[in-house]
């Protein structure tokens, strides 16, 4: 039996943790010391809860859970890193493609020049004038919905 | 202690093996503190897991000039109090009842049953606010100094003394009322 420890040994910084545990082990098994401790303050008896053992299997399970969670986190971080790089690479390719397209198509937005149509020839002009004479041509006229279609058949018209 | 500082430094640099050793070194006390605050081993293990994962994520930012244990227990207490306040926390269950291994040998004259003491604590500690309970656990059960408890809780020492005073009074009254035979008279 170890000598009865002074209850003050349990107080602030009066002993190192191992000394404190040693004192608690003694108090747990010594009714006289428990009475002295409770004499200071009954609630101090709960200091003995420091001796409550944590099941070793629970501690081992905790370590396994932490390891497993860290492994999962590392996998997630790798996937995230891969996605980030893939997104960056895709952005780069897209930027190059758009740049190339813009470079190749530079000037594409310049105003389109009207195709220069040759002025009508004299005989075409006269045919058009003659066309105004209804008896000189076959004219077919019909409507498609809102659109009035007029077809003129005249061999003199060589537009 | 030098070895612990080396482990912390190596783990902060990303060494998983060193971190595993650090977990093995600290896990029992982290679980015990979390259990005394939450009252349930499963909750305590959830808290401890969250604490160590957070630790792994933040270890790189740890200031070596500060005390590692204070930082670790601060994370633990905050996580345990958060869990206690959440609606999903489980009912209290003594560690000594959940343990498959026997309590430490204390000699043939041992008469105090730790599981019974734990049950008594949980019954009478129900009326304590989470912070009062945390202060009592750190100070009385874990044997920390008032200054260290104040650092862990992030409050002034006077606040610690105030919480402790109220907790002791409530526990004393609870013991006298519900467990008069638990505490021997001198």
Mean pLDDT in each 10-residue stretch from start to end of chain A (159 residues)? 77 73 89 88 92 92 95 87 86 86 71 63 61 63 76 68
A137 touches B: beta carbon within 8 Å: no
Return all residues near A119 (Cβ < 8 A) that are at least 6 apart. Answer: none
Contact, B111 vs A48, CB < 8 A? no
Distance from CA of B184 to the nearest CA of A (A): 5
Residue B101 has a pLDDT of: 47
Cβ distance of A12 and B183 shorter than 8 Å: no
The answer to whether the CB atoms of B171 and A46 lie below 8 A apart is yes
Instruction: Return the CA Rg of chain A.
Output: 51
Residue A50 at interface with chain B, using a CB cutoff of 8 Å: yes
Residue B17 to residue B23: CA distance in whole angstroms: 10
User: Within 10 Å of residue A157's Cβ, how many Cβ atoms?
Assistant: 14
Q: From B142, which residue of chain A is nearest by alpha-carbon distance?
A: A50
* Of A128-137, B60-69, B125-134, the least confident: A128-137
pTM over 0.95: no
Q: Is B159 exposed, middle or buried (0-12, 13-18, 19+ CB in 10 A)?
A: middle
What is the predicted pLDDT for the residue at B105?
44
Q: Please judge whether A49 and B141 are an interchain contact, meaning their C-beta atoms are less than 8 angstroms apart.
A: yes
Question: Is the Cβ–Cβ distance between A24 and A6 less than 8 Å?
Answer: no
What is the C-alpha end-to-end distance of chain B, expressed in Å? 40
CB atoms A34 and B112 under 8 Å:
yes
User: Residue B164: pLDDT band by 50, 70, 90 thresholds?
Assistant: very high
CB contact under 8 A, A49 and B112: no
Q: What percent of chain B has pLDDT over 90?
A: 67
Tokens 């009322």 found at: B177
Does any CB of chain A come closer than 8 Å to the CB of residue B141?
yes
**Looking at residue B50, what is its pLDDT?**
96
pLDDT, tens digit, 9 for 90 and up, residues B76-102: 999 999 998 887 666 665 555 555 444
Task: Tell me, yes or no, if A60 comes closer than 8 A to chain B by beta carbon.
Answer: no
Supply A70's token pair. Answer: 């860290």
Q: Given a cut of 80, is residue B112 above it in pLDDT?
A: no
* Closest CA in chain A for residue B110: A29
Give residue B125's pLDDT: 92
Residue with tokens 């601060």: B74
Question: Would you state the pLDDT for residue B138?
Answer: 95
Q: What does pLDDT average to over chain B?
A: 87
- Chain B positions in Cβ-Cβ contact with residue A45 (cut-off 8 Å): 117, 175, 182-183
Contact between chains at A63 and B24 (C-beta distance less than 8 A):
yes
Exposure string for A6-44, b = 16+ CB within 10 A, e = fewer: ebebbbeeebeeeebeebbbbbbbbeebbebbbeeebbb
- Least confident range from B18-32, B58-72, B109-123: namely B109-123
Q: Which of residues 15 through 74 in chain B touch A, CB cutoff 8 A?
A: 16, 19-20, 23-24, 27-28, 31-32, 35-36, 41, 45, 48-49, 52-53, 56
Q: Does A67 touch chain B (CB under 8 A)?
A: yes
Determine the distance from the C-alpha atom of residue A34 to the mean position of all C-alpha atoms in its chain, rounded to a whole number.
61
């Amino acid at each position: 039996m170890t000598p009865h420890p002074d209850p003050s040994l349990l107080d602030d910084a009066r002993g190192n943790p191992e000394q404190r545990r040693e004192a608690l082990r003694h108090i747990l098994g010594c009714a006289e010391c428990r009475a002295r401790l409770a004499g200071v303050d009954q609630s101090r008896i709960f200091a003995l809860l420091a001796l409550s053992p944590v099941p070793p299997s629970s501690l081992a399970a905790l370590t396994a859970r932490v390891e497993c969670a860290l492994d999962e986190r590392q996998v997630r971080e790798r996937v995230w890193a891969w996605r980030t790089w893939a997104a960056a690479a895709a952005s780069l390719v897209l930027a190059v493609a758009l740049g190339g397209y813009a470079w190749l198509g530079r000037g594409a937005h310049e105003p389109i020049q009207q195709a220069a149509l040759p002025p009508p020839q004299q005989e075409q002009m006269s045919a058009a004038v003659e066309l105004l004479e209804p008896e000189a041509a076959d004219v077919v006229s019909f409507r498609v919905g809102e659109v009035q279609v007029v077809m003129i058949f005249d061999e003199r018209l060589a537009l | 202690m030098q070895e612990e500082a080396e482990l912390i430094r190596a783990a902060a640099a990303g060494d998983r093996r060193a971190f595993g050793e650090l977990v093995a070194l600290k896990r029992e006390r982290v679980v015990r503190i979390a259990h005394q605050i939450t009252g349930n081993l499963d909750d305590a293990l959830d808290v401890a897991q969250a604490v160590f994962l957070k630790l792994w994520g933040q270890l790189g930012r740890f200031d070596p000039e500060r005390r590692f244990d204070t930082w670790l227990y601060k994370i633990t207490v905050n996580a345990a109090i958060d869990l206690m306040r959440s609606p999903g926390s489980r009912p209290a269950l003594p560690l000594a009842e959940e343990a498959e291994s026997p309590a430490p040998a204390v000699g043939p004259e041992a008469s105090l049953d730790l599981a019974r003491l734990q049950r008594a604590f949980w019954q009478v500690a129900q009326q304590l606010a989470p912070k009062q309970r945390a202060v009592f656990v750190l100070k009385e059960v874990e044997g920390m100094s008032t200054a260290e408890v104040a650092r862990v809780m992030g409050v002034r020492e006077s606040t610690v003394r105030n919480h402790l005073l109220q907790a002791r009074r409530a526990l004393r009254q609870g013991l006298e009322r519900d467990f008069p035979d638990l505490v021997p008279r001198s």
